[in-house]
Amino acid sequence: MKVRRFWNERWSTVETPFPTNKCKYMISDLGRIMSIDKESEDEKLLNGTYNHNNLKLINIKLANKKYFKVYIHRFIAINFVDKPSDEHNFVVHKNEDRTHNNYKNLKWLTKKELIAIQKAKGQFSIANQPSKKNVVMTKSKVRLLKARLRKGKTKRKILAKQFGISQMQVSRILSGKNWGHVE
């Protein structure tokens, strides 16, 4: 059975890192998702699913028993929306409706443009930014942390934030699993 296509609708095949078991998948510039059976060539429209941010996606089961996640808006932007430059790495919905994945509703932004929009809406906060990666603890920092932990006046959560490490890392330092050789 064939899926009825709309006039002027363009389709692009989803490329996966490993082959799929039974179907190949295609996504249209209008945001429709289709699976095509490899043996019978039957086509079927799929609904996909939504994540906690209300972004539509599909999880494709691969032959190696792992899943490959495809965000529909991003796939459509990569395949059907012109990217102005290499610095434009973020895709937004022009009308702010994250369920409306038509290629005309998608736009590429730079990080600066995205932050400016989020600040204007009151969504952006430095506190919401990911913590610095690969923070290096030195022996002197570990000694200071252990001294504060021994006093017991400051909560571990606050100490973790002050030192730029996770609460789990603070617990490991306290138990001696990490930095056990430092007094």
* Whole-prediction pTM: 0.66
Check residue 135 and give its pLDDT. Answer: 63
Check residue 164 and give its pLDDT. Answer: 86
Structure tokens at 20: 């799929």
Residue 36 CA to residue 26 CA, distance in Å, equals 8
Check residue 85 and give its pLDDT. Answer: 92
Check residue 123 and give its pLDDT. Answer: 77
Domain 11-128, architecture per CATH: Alpha-Beta Complex (3.90)
Q: Does residue 174 come out as left (phi exceeding 0), alpha (psi in the -120 to 50 range) or beta? A: alpha
Check residue 136 and give its pLDDT. Answer: 76
Residue 183 CA to residue 173 CA, distance in Å, equals 11
Check residue 133 and give its pLDDT. Answer: 63
Check residue 118 and give its pLDDT. Answer: 86
Residue 96 CA to residue 118 CA, distance in Å, equals 12
User: CA 37 from chain center: how many Å?
Assistant: 28
Question: For every one of its 183 residues, what pLDDT tens digit does the chain have, with 9 covering 90 and above?
Answer: 788 888 989 999 999 888 898 899 999 999 999 999 999 999 999 999 999 989 999 999 998 989 999 999 999 999 999 999 999 999 999 998 999 999 999 999 999 999 888 888 887 776 666 655 666 788 888 899 888 888 888 888 998 888 888 899 888 888 888 888 887
